[in-house]
Amino acid sequence: MNRPRVVLDTNILVSSLWGGGPRRLLNLWHRGRLHVLMSQPILEEYLAVLGRFHPAEDDLDTLTALLGHPRLTEWVVPAMRVHVIPDDPTDHRFLECAVAGHADAIISGDRHLLRLKRFHEIPILSPSAFLRQFERGVTG
């Protein structure tokens, strides 16, 4: 299986601090088994939100290394703006990045995103749903 191209919602990074499926996703990213798509608006949200949780220095060092690694992280500039989640417009940044980067999936624990199920034929999956598909060799 090719490395799936994914967008990780901020809640995945925050939840990874405590382990579980989100931590497994970060481990897959670190081992080069996921190709994570990133945009400037997503990075800004990551930094703002993670700053409120005071992650361990090791966790920050790992995330910094992942974000700066060109084989593991692809930076994209979204060309389109969307307005499909009026209850939480900050979620649009993940949809915009996924479309611009031709993502195979958006991985999120956010109910607003998960309720969409798909956006431009890109599935929006919980961490556990994505990991089940990944382990079976299925994405998209």
Return the higher-pLDDT residue of 11 and 60.
Answer: 11
User: What pLDDT sits at residue 17?
Assistant: 86
Q: Structural domain tally of the chain?
A: 1
User: What pLDDT sits at residue 1?
Assistant: 47
Q: How many helices (H) and strands (E) does the chain have?
A: 7, 6
* N-to-C CA span, the chain: 12
Does the model's pTM come out above 0.85? Answer: yes
CATH of the domain at 79: 3.40.50.1010
Q: Other CB atoms closer than 10 Å to residue 73's CB: what's the count?
A: 17
Domain residue limits at 61:
5-136
